[in-house]
Amino acid sequence: MNKLLVTLLLLLTVRLAYAQKIVNNYDEANVGTFALPDPLALPGGGRITTAKQWEMQRASWLRTFQETMYGYTPDKKLTLRFQVVETKHDALNGQAIRKRINIYVTEYPTLLPIELVLYVPKAAKKPVPVFVSLNFVGNHGITAEKDIPLSERWMRNSPDTMSTPAVVKNKANEWARGVQTRRWPLEAILERGYAVATAYYGDIEPDHRDGWKIGIRSMLGDTAKANNWGAIGAWAWGLSRMLDYLETDKLVDAKKAISLGHSRLGKAALWAGVQDTRFAMTISNDSGEGGATLTRRNFGENVFDIHKNNSFWYCKNYFTYLGHPNDLPMDQHILLALVAPRPLYIASASQDLFADPKGEFLSALNAEPVYKLYGKAGLGTTVWPRPGMAIGNTIGYHLRDGIHDILLYDWERFMNFADKNL
């Protein structure tokens, strides 16, 4: 089919779908029934019964997610250059060694670097496990330390009503320091013997429709293609490049690297953990629609919202399913299953209804059959736990009482799970 025809068909499908747009449903009674695709079904009939068979099928499920949802991450081999800009031996009041590293792609000299900051507990006697996670606000926003340079990248403006507007004309200013320290309890994480590696997600691609024009997707991929990678693909790519660096740093144990993210960055962390099996563990916090939760479950955010506000996060093919998610060849429990047999943790928040916390739990539950092939138990219950309980082995889950956020409470449970599983 020629490109014009494909575009016309896509427009037609989207129009038809909008004509029957379903409003966001928040009533369990209106969720309706749905049948999830079986991750263990074999294309020619019959069912997978062994881990070995699953491993033969896995690539085909991965392709389904690439073709239908996130797009293909280009597999061109790139050469990276790591520039250590700073090593500070008494960061966080002497608790940490802090390193700042710029990651350049040699093939694309005009591409701005990923500016990574790494915090390692100074007391560590040996290389430590490391959380690899993008941040929403720039590295200067995750710590109260004043000596991290303000990121100069594009950022979303602060609301006009804010008395301390941290971002004006899309640039961070001094007000922006430490704005998200509550999400990054560095002292508590380091105290438990974990390192943290983070970078601003906009270093990889600014989070707006035209952001790709200055990011890696302007260099790699083909925007005309309906299966070209979206911004989530780019951010996941960035997490893998951070891991490339970490593999060269003796302070951390890169064999114990944990891909972690909140919300849209939880979607990216999942996609990174699925594609890059070097990540020993994957954590999604409140990642919701197009992340951990089931697309077929009509509760909270739906694909219409994603299409309207953030379609550039996914590939175009995804939106051919607008209004009829039951026709998707997969659902998100299969994405979660693609992490198997490596440990996976899904966290929800009780008031984060837009992300459909129960759908996130059910998704994790329905990933279990694949973990069971490896003799791994999973959640250990079919009942959605009440807030405040952390459950599961190899697949972990908790529901925090509260709103859409990532807090010390969540980190503590992630670390308990990592202590057990790594």
Point out the catalytic residue in the list 263, 284, 287, 363.
Answer: 263
Peptide bond into 341 cis (omega under 30): yes
Tell me how far CA of residue 280 lies from CA of 45, 167, 274, 377, in angstroms: 32, 35, 11, 18
CB closer to ligand GCU, 153 vs 264: 264
For ligand GCU, the closer of residues 277 and 309 by Cβ is: 309
C-alpha pair distances (Å), 170 with each of 61, 143, 150, 234: 39, 20, 13, 21
Q: How far is the CB of 14 from ligand GCU (least distance, A)?
A: 18
Beta bridge partners, 346, equal 284, 397
- In whole angstroms, the minimum distance from the beta carbon of 262 to ligand GCU comes to 7
Which tokens hold the place of 315? 């590939």
Closest distance of CB 136 from ligand GCU, Å = 8
Nearest approach, Cβ of 201 to ligand GCU (angstroms)? Answer: 10
User: Given the rule CB under 6 A, which residues bind ligand GCU?
Assistant: 263-264, 288-289, 301, 305, 309
Select 130 or 204, whichever has its Cβ closest to ligand GCU: 204
Residue 4, Cβ density class (10 Å: 0-12 exposed, 13-18 middle, ≥19 buried): exposed
Task: Give the CA dihedral 403, 406, 412, 414, nearest 10 degrees.
Answer: 110
Nearest to ligand GCU of 269, 379 (CB atom): 269
Over the Cα atoms of the chain, what is R_g? Answer: 21
404 catalytically annotated: yes
Q: Which of 184, 117, 118 is nearest to 151 (CA)?
A: 117
CB of 284 to ligand GCU, least distance (A): 10
Count of residues for the chain? 422
191: number of CA atoms within 13 Å, CB side?
10
Tell me whether residue 290 or residue 343 sits nearer to ligand GCU (CB atom). Answer: 290
Q: Any catalytic annotation for residue 284?
A: no
Would you name the residues annotated as active-site residues?
263, 404
